[in-house]
Structure 1
Amino acid sequence: MSGQRIKEIRQKLPEKTSQKKLANMLQSVGLDIDKNAVQRIESGKRFVTDIELKVIAKVLGVSYQDLLDD
């Protein structure tokens, strides 16, 4: 559900942010997600836990709700 929103927000960041860079950003705050996991999340092939969603929102600089809304 939130994978497409994560991709959209990632691509709109002021500094170019690849899936690998996002994975590195998430790892730097303690979330063990690699580039392949980011790719699966964005394509809707991997479930995202509520805890992961909160960390992703924080790293992307958006609210938790922003990742859930279309």
Structure 2
Amino acid sequence: MYKNKLVNGRNNVCGLKIKELRKAMPEHPSQRRFADMLQIVGLDLDKNAVQRIESGSRFVTDIELVCIARVLGVSYEELLDSTAEHLRT
């Protein structure tokens, strides 16, 4: 039976990359500020949703992924890099 989790128990493949890229942004936005930035582009997420995405406890929809990538200034493909080292455990 298929389970919608990675072998490490995470519910998404993009959360750690989102966190890494958010912290690497020039203004180093907090999760709250990042949620505000997402709302400006039309994605209604709050700070708690950002925290759950980054921690891997929340699924991410394709619409959310596209908006998050836009705010981070990367392609959605970069956020979905399943070859990342942190996904192999």
Normalization by structure 1: what TM-score? 0.96
Q: Match of 1:66, as an amino acid?
A: E
Structure 1 residue 67 corresponds to structure 2 residue 69: no
Partner of residue 32, structure 2: 20
Once the two structures are superposed, residues 3-53 of structure 1 have per-residue CA deviations (whole angstroms, 9 ceiling, x without a partner) of: 000000001111121100110000111111000000000000000001100
Equivalent of 2:57 in 36, 45, 57: 45
Normalization by structure 2: what TM-score? 0.76
Flag structure 1 segments of 5+ consecutive residues without an equivalent: none
Report the identity percentage: 67
Divergent runs of 4+, >2 A: none
Partners of 1:11 and 1:17 in 2: CA distance: 7
Structure 1 residue 58 corresponds to structure 2 residue 66: no
- The alignment partner of 1:53 has SS state of helix
Flag structure 2 segments of 5+ consecutive residues without an equivalent: 1-12, 85-89
Partners of 1:17 and 1:41 in 2: CA distance: 16
Report how many residues are paired: 70
Give me the CA root mean square deviation.
Answer: 0.7
Q: Which has the larger radius of gyration?
A: 2
